Amino acid sequence: MSKVLVFGHKNPDTDTITSALVYAYLKQQLGVDAEAVRLGEVNNETKYALEKFGFEAPRLIENVANEASEVILVDHNERQQSADGIEEVKVTEVIDHHRIANFETSDPLYYRAEPVGCTATILNKIFKENNVEIPSNIAGLMLSAIVSDTLLFKSPTCTEQDVQAGKELAEKAGVDVNEYGLAMLKAGADLSDKSLEDLLSLDAKEFTFGEVKSIVAQVNAVDINDVLNRKDELVSLLNKNIEENGLQLFFFVVTDILNNDSTAVVVGSAAEAAAKAFGKQLDNDLVDLPGVVSRKKQIVPVLTEAL
């Protein structure tokens, strides 16, 4: 059997990077020649987690079709979020916790999606189902993913299953979940030294809502003024991006991880409509989103419905 590549989405976050490493490890234990790879730069939060548990970042790849004929997707399924060349290779498995869209295969496959807060929570079950022990450092990666995706269990995407898995994994990893979790989130949320270009690429995902080609990006911040102080510059940059990519909407969400609120910078021809989807009017390109922290559960469904 030739090598199978395991990877998450573009603009990788902690769940995507660690789930690729973790699932490649599990497949290796089951006798599969699997290698974790990544599709973009590793962010500061993920770097903190990798360093803490003694891992290197997976290898960066460009076009997957040059590298393998079979691949496993973790933490995503939509074509536009996946690797370049994805339509030329065979997807043999998907482990994910997002909606399903823009995904099609010609053959049956193993597809495991569950409506939980984090891919790692599903991987925790798959280890058990296969009777494979989770080593301490792997458990640390999985815990990091859960903390990241659920904002330390505070996101509305967080389920009882995520909380349970987080507890189990923290014990296996030998860390205090609150202390470690907050340190990791803060490592990723210090935006003061980031250029706006950096912020744009941190966690931006493409969506098509009806006919509206969009990017919904999200950054976590300890102090959202690190971003909002540079709003005018940011709006110019978003408009440039819209022009270059033929978009109708750029929805840029800044999430306050200490207070669990968000503010969005919204531009494009569909900006007014997007604000209206949340019952708001655009105020100087800004929309206030109190209590909103989850792109997947609180933003994408609202835009899907309205546009």
Residue numbers at the binding site for a second copy (CB under 8 A): 97-115, 125, 129, 296-297, 300-301, 304-305
Give least dist CB 116 to a second copy, A: 8
Nearer to a second copy, 62 or 87 (CB): 87
Give least dist CB 51 to a second copy, A: 30
Give least dist CB 205 to a second copy, A: 14
Nearer to a second copy, 103 or 153 (CB): 103
d(CA 39, CA 12): 7
Q: Is 75 annotated as a binding residue?
A: yes
d(CA 253, CA 262): 6
Q: Is 84 annotated as a binding residue?
A: no
Give least dist CB 98 to a second copy, A: 6
Nearer to a second copy, 103 or 239 (CB): 103
Report whether 184 contacts 43 (CB < 8 A). Answer: no
CA distances from 276 to 8, 57, 58, 188, 272 (A): 32, 40, 41, 31, 6
Give least dist CB 140 to a second copy, A: 25
Count of residues for the chain? Answer: 307
Q: Give me the residue label for tokens 């969400």.
A: 253
Sign of CA pseudo-dihedral 59, 12, 257, 199: positive
Q: Is 285 annotated as a binding residue?
A: no
Nearer to a second copy, 106 or 284 (CB): 106
Sheet strands (E) in the chain:
4-7, 34-38, 59-60, 70-74, 90-96, 110-113, 204-209, 212-221, 249-256, 261-267, 286-289
Give least dist CB 283 to a second copy, A: 27
Nearer to a second copy, 135 or 301 (CB): 301
Q: Are strands 59-60 and 70-74 parallel, antiparallel or unpaired?
A: unpaired
Nearer to a second copy, 30 or 100 (CB): 100
Q: Is 13 annotated as a binding residue?
A: yes
Which residues touch 302 (CB under 8 Å, ≥6 apart)? 277, 278
Q: Is 226 annotated as a binding residue?
A: no
Q: Is 96 annotated as a binding residue?
A: no
- Binding site members: 9, 13, 15, 75, 97, 149
- Binding site members for Mn(2+): 9, 13, 15, 75, 97, 149
